[in-house]
Chains A and B, each alone.
Chain A
Amino acid sequence: MTRLLFFVSEAFRALRRSAAPSIAAIVTIVVTTLLLGVLIPVLKASEDKTADVREQIGLNVYLYDDASKAEIEALERKLLAIEHVEAVEFISKDKAAKILAGRLEGDLRESLKELNSNPLPASFAIDIDDPENLRAVSNAIAPVGSDGKPQPISPAIEEVRDARQDATKITRVTGAVTVVLGILAVLLLVASLLLVGNTIRLSIYARRREVEVMRLVGATNWFIRWPFIIEGVIVGLTGAAIAVAILWLGKVTVVDPLSESFALVDNFSTMGFTPLVITLVASATIVSALGSGITLRRFLRV
């Protein structure tokens, strides 16, 4: 306990003394943490979007409102008989309305309730074993007739729609974005590691005589190292705290008001703020503590 207090007071003594390098290290950490704080949620959001789109690959068969129960049952059997079809789910008009209501929030949901009639069609959602077979299944449901128009296998079918074209495009785009952002994040991390390491190295280098004297009067390596590591932790924590404060400000003043009016922006806050903060603070602290610890090794070989 006495030791810990001593180490902490030594760390603060060192920070006070070399204020300029300490501030440089803190600023470096603030900047990199800020960039990471923006990059990580974006990266996370684009990943989620890709997964979302992949799940959606399948077919929707929309029905006329006047389709009879018998027609619908007959169609379900026919659909199940088609090759490559794994599952068929009937979505009634009511269910479609409920699903939509579940996706909407607040005012929009209220306004949906106020509609007297349900504008949504009933449909079959079809799961296909492999996205490759989408075209074949689609053709089996609505083969193109001699006049060039689709001839559905049942008169109840109004339209067959697949999200395939859109989906592949989105997948490709988000995939590219993920790779680019990922590379950026890694580069940023490496750069920040080097920067912080270098800053700390300079401050330790300025104190190498002191470290040498400590060694010569019988201090063990860990006795010398602990204050430096605690110093690194303090620098890392301070930098991360400032960055998080700025991020929080940005979230409250920019992202939150936007996400209220646009569902799309809301999608981007996929990562909770708390886990993000914990990740950022922990990594900033570890990086700077490790930076001090490793740099010191060179001067402890007396």
Chain B
Amino acid sequence: MALTRSRKTTPARTRGRAAKLARERRTTPQPKPPIVALRDATVVYPGGHVALERVSLEIERGEFAFVVGPTGCGKSTLIKMLIREIQPASGKVLIAGRDINELPASKVPLLRRRIGTIFQDFKLLPNRTVYDNVAYALQVIGASRAEIRRKTPEIIRLVGLQSKIHNYPDQLSGGEQQRVSIARAFVNHPPLLLADEPTGNLDPETSIGIMQLLYRINRTGTTVLVVTHDREMVDKMRRRVIALEDGRLIRDERAGGYHDESTREFAARVRHELGVPGDQPE
């Protein structure tokens, strides 16, 4: 019915063009730009220290990638550059195809809401409980109270902190604060999650727990970029590894083979390979 009516009213010329457009869209699908792309990005700190030097890389949507390198090689600088906490002296930082350093300052908060960041020093609000810290990320985007009341406990349960929901950050262990940071970073379900040393200073079992959590998040479709200096853990994970040294990208390896394992299989394998005892897969 609708089709015949539209045929009567639509001029032939318009119809032809629309059909052509549709055909083109089908035959040559527009490739989505990579979620992260660096082009010769160089960061120089005040004082002249070159923290990153001509770093170029691309990260595709849905990837789980590691950035490794010794302390002081510029890993945190890389993360800060991706959320425009610092700006490169030269080169480009593209997020979903857009040069973030050309955004007006007023749009920067919108960028940061689309990127969940787990900071090396957690950056929790000290005078807020676990619940309020996580809820803040929702309040910032103008979520309704009902939404906040529904989503906040849900994500806190996901990171396993439901028993500490009303604790303040200084009443939590490092690993627990880490998990609050993860919950806050992920509560908005951002398409990109950046984690700066999420397992730093944690015992192996807790580290595996957190990696497992990040892996689970990645399986929901979120791109996850994890920064760490824990080479051993990374080697066992068998994911893409981007290695930095003295601010330069020295290696970028894509390891395949394990992309379809379940979270449980993943955790069990990593535990096994690291020699950490824990629940084995049934």
Q: Mark A residues whose CB is within 8 Å of B.
A: 2-3, 6, 13, 17, 209-210, 212-221, 223, 302
Contact = CB atoms under 8 A, between A and B. Distances in A.
Given A2-B144, A2-B145, A302-B85, A216 B123 contact: yes
A218 B126 contact: no
A210 B169 CA distance: 13
B137 A217 contact: yes
A57 B139 CA distance: 69
Contacts of A6: 139
B110 interface: yes
A3 B109 contact: no
A131 B109 CA distance: 69
Interface residues of B, number: 24
**Interface SS of A by simple majority:** helix
Contacts of B117: 216-217
A244 to B, nearest CB: 32
B127 A210 contact: yes
A50 to B, nearest CB: 52
A218 B113 contact: yes
B127 A216 contact: no
B126 A3 contact: no
A107 B84 CA distance: 80
Contacts of A214: 125, 136, 140
Contacts of A216: 83, 85, 112, 117, 119, 123
B106 interface: yes
B52 to A, nearest CB: 19
B127 A218 contact: no
A17 B126 CA distance: 11
Nearest to A220: B109
30 contacts: A2-B144, A2-B145, A3-B142, A209-B126, A210-B125, A210-B126, A210-B127, A212-B123, A213-B124, A213-B125, A214-B140, A215-B109, A216-B83, A216-B85, A216-B117, A216-B119, A217-B117, A217-B136, A217-B137, A217-B140, A218-B109, A218-B111, A218-B112, A218-B137, A218-B141, A219-B140, A220-B109, A220-B140, A223-B109, A223-B140
Contacts of A17: 127
Contact of B140 (A13, A209, A212, A218): A218
A217 B141 CA distance: 10
B184 interface: yes
Nearest to A2: B145
- In this complex, the member of A17, A209, A219, A221 whose beta carbon has the largest number of chain B beta carbons within 10 angstroms is A219
Interface in B72-119: 83, 85, 106, 109-113, 117, 119
Contact of A217 (B106, B112, B145): B112
Nearest to A14: B127
Nearest 10 A/B pairs, CB to CB = A218-B113, A218-B112, A220-B109, A219-B140, A213-B123, A218-B109, A218-B140, A217-B137, A17-B127, A210-B125
Nearest to B122: A213
A219 B127 contact: no
Nearest to B188: A218
Nearest to B114: A218
A213 B110 CA distance: 15
B96 to A, nearest CB: 16
A17 B139 CA distance: 20
Contacts of B137: 217-218
A223 B113 CA distance: 13
